[in-house]
Structure 1
């Protein structure tokens, strides 16, 4: 039996307790409850419904030449409209594409109105992805798969952090939103690390446990998300 003692807390915000439609036209679902194993820590690139702003990795070089948005994609400069089908729909409206990118940049970074880096990815500068370990071998295999719920930041919160503004985390579409500085701290301290455990508690739980006992492999840390009170707690194995 592994005993875990709480050592840190961080703000976090998951999806709503009941499904509803988000302002972007995509459904907001609750964050999936359970115990999971971290598979990867990486910049997320989306190929599905978020492929417009999130089809390009955070921090990718960007420039605007003659009113055309260019991005450094796979080592060479390409028109944004040549990157994927989402942007390709607007290949005959380069001015409209440039206007949209400039508007977003100026909304997020009014003091830096011309973008040089892609800071629009919906999943922020890093995402922590995890899977349900059905066969308990702590490896993703068989029918196991990466969950649709990630731990990540948002472009709005990244911009607020860059300008040192105080902000509140917004409700997600099912992922776990955390603050940019906090995700860096959790990764840097080894709390969020490939192979570590993440546990998502029920929304009905309204208090953070001081300790846990788990019949699992003894790893240095576990990360526990309490969606009902918007907190992540870090537990150390003793």
Structure 2
């Protein structure tokens, strides 16, 4: 099985052992570098990669992504704060640790789900519940070695698309900063098919290439 991404056609394609192709909608970065002052959107980098892993992702680069998707929350209205559960089981302050206050959390949740409450879990991570990580395999052993590194680009959903899917609305994909955006139900189907299994070959084609 191989996984292929054609950014020019906005298609993520699974080629199975019988060479049957299974296409899914997917959006990468722009074909030319953008001008977002926080982080410039870039074209998704062409090349041959190996799928490394799947799992919740967090990063210090984006405020809403400093907490992993699904992290338990505790509403603390009397403190005008929301607490989140740490890996130790203890609780930390979102306002103090992340710099996002209770009002901002409620506003963001309302934008996504039209409910004016603090959710029970963190559903704001820009990379969705799981991110599929991949790397360029320098020595060809299909394993991530110490002289190799994970790509900063990855396959994932977005909070907007997760909310659309959960609410039963049409899922509308949008251009990324270089990652590959997929629909939640497609991610689940691809995962079930084994397309994200560690060691799977993943080819990102040039924008001019066609299926």
Q: TM-score, normalised by structure 1?
A: 0.76
Q: CA deviation at 1:114?
A: 2.7
Q: CA deviation at 1:63?
A: 2.1
Question: Could you list the runs of 5+ residues in structure 2 that have no partner in the other structure?
Answer: 3-16
From 46, 49, 69, the equivalent of 1:58 is 69
Q: Which has the larger radius of gyration?
A: 1
Runs of 4+ in 1 over 4 A off after TM superposition: none
1:93 match = none
Partners in 1 of 2:147 and 2:190 — Cα distance?
Answer: 29
1:146 match = 150
Question: Could you list the runs of 5+ residues in structure 1 that have no partner in the other structure?
Answer: 91-95, 209-238
Q: TM-score, normalised by structure 2?
A: 0.86
SS for the counterpart of 1:5 is coil
Q: CA deviation at 1:82?
A: 4.2
SS for the counterpart of 1:28 is coil
Q: CA deviation at 1:16?
A: 0.5
Show CA shifts across 1:111-130 (max 9, x none).
Answer: 46331110000000110000
Q: CA deviation at 1:137?
A: 1.1
Show CA shifts across 1:54-98 (max 9, x none).
Answer: 011101111221221111111112111343xxx2xx4xxxxx711
2:206 match = 202
Partners in 2 of 1:68 and 1:5 — Cα distance?
Answer: 53
Partners in 1 of 2:115 and 2:145 — Cα distance?
Answer: 47
Count of equivalent residues: 193
